[in-house]
Amino acid sequence: MSGDLAEVTRRLNADAERLAAELFPAGYRDGHDWRIGSLAGERGQSLAIQIAGPKRGRWKDFAAGAGGDMLDLVAQTRFAGDLGRALAWARNYLGVCRETYRREPVRAPVHEPIRAPVHEPSERAMAIWHFSQALQRGDPVWRYLEGRGIDLSLLPKLPGALRYHRRLYHRGGEYWPAMVGVITDAEGRNVAVHRTWLELRDLACEAAPRVVKAPLDHDAKMTLGRYTGGCIRLGRGASRRPWRDMPQGETLMLGEGIEDTLAAMTWQPQLRAAAGVSLSAMLSLELPDRITRVILLRQNDARGSSADKLAIRIMDKWVREGRRVTEWIPPVWVKDAAEFAERQLMMRGDKDA
């Protein structure tokens, strides 16, 4: 690390109290920490900046799984992670003259990537869940699903297992809005989360921006935490009773993903429903004895493929457990229930036009 960078970082850390208040005026002091909701600057307590004590200048965002020193903080909040621009800003902020370090070679500052604090995956998962917001009509998660042809207003109640995170860290080094689903184990404990990162488009338009899946290749959806035997409990069906109090003889509609399960729920809201996250996870799913029938929402996997064989193994397991099993297979021209709903939305749009 160059002397210039080391000195600027040291002085920023020493001035952590004043700088934290300047960067996050909505924050508040909590002992040795300055607390704020996230790097976006909303009120809350997920992000803690140490403004006193031996670790002054260090910060952690427990919901996003990120942290660093005060120069990192400036880079993340003001310059989209660009440390070179943050260093220039910091010199001006501190009144540091570069001539003082004339003998240092002129090169981009060397900096280690921000590392997540050391926590168990399930602890980090529950922090993300805790600092996410309950779904509301018209929020970005609502609009994302609406764009997929899924009308949540058709459900008797918004799924409590889904929340909206305003600014969630992605391992690619960026922050995106996200749909967060909590995964519950057989004992009813929240143990993991499923994250779907989102992108808000056409922000300059007067109408609400369109919300789509973030352009993150195959990493736009990921799970965090240990969830063997669990699922995302999306709907209680006609009984409206919690899983632990469900009546005997319940039917469960089970999909692989959140979107395809929600799409089917808008067609059959009277059925209890859950998302199994993946076929491999569904193989270890532990279902209550009170569920006597399972409707498996299939995807259009090629017959004889590994996914098709795994789905058959799952259904055979439920049959051996004494349950009746039905499979819903989408039309051949779509992948799953979510794509079927999306195609229906497109056809309605064509008719309206």
225 lies in some domain: yes
pLDDT (tens digit per residue) in 20-59:
888 888 788 888 899 888 887 777 788 899 998 888 999 9
pLDDT (tens digit per residue) in 246-258:
999 999 999 999 9
Q: Mark whether 20 and 158 lie in a shared domain.
A: no
Q: Mark whether 80 and 211 lie in a shared domain.
A: no
Question: What interhelical angle do 70-78 and 83-94 show, nearest 10?
Answer: 110
Phi, psi for residue 314 in degrees, rounded to 5: -60, -45
pLDDT (tens digit per residue) in 144-191:
999 999 999 999 999 999 999 988 888 777 888 999 999 999 999 999
- On whether the CB atoms of residues 111 and 76 are closer than 8 A, the answer is no
Q: Mark whether 16 and 146 lie in a shared domain.
A: no
Query: Which of 32-36, 87-91, 212-216, 272-276 reaches the highest mean pLDDT?
Result: 272-276
Residue 219: band (very low, low, confident or very high) from pLDDT cuts 50, 70, 90: confident
111 lies in some domain: no
The pTM of the full predicted model, rounded to 2 decimals, is 0.67
Question: What interhelical angle do 70-78 and 3-14 show, nearest 10?
Answer: 90
112 lies in some domain: no
107 lies in some domain: no
Query: 133 vs 94, 161, 192, 219, CA distance in Å?
Result: 37, 11, 16, 22
Domains contained in the chain, number: 2
Residue 120: band (very low, low, confident or very high) from pLDDT cuts 50, 70, 90: low
Q: What is the CATH number of the domain that holds 32?
A: 3.90.580.10
Identify the domain containing residue 61 by its residue range. 3-101
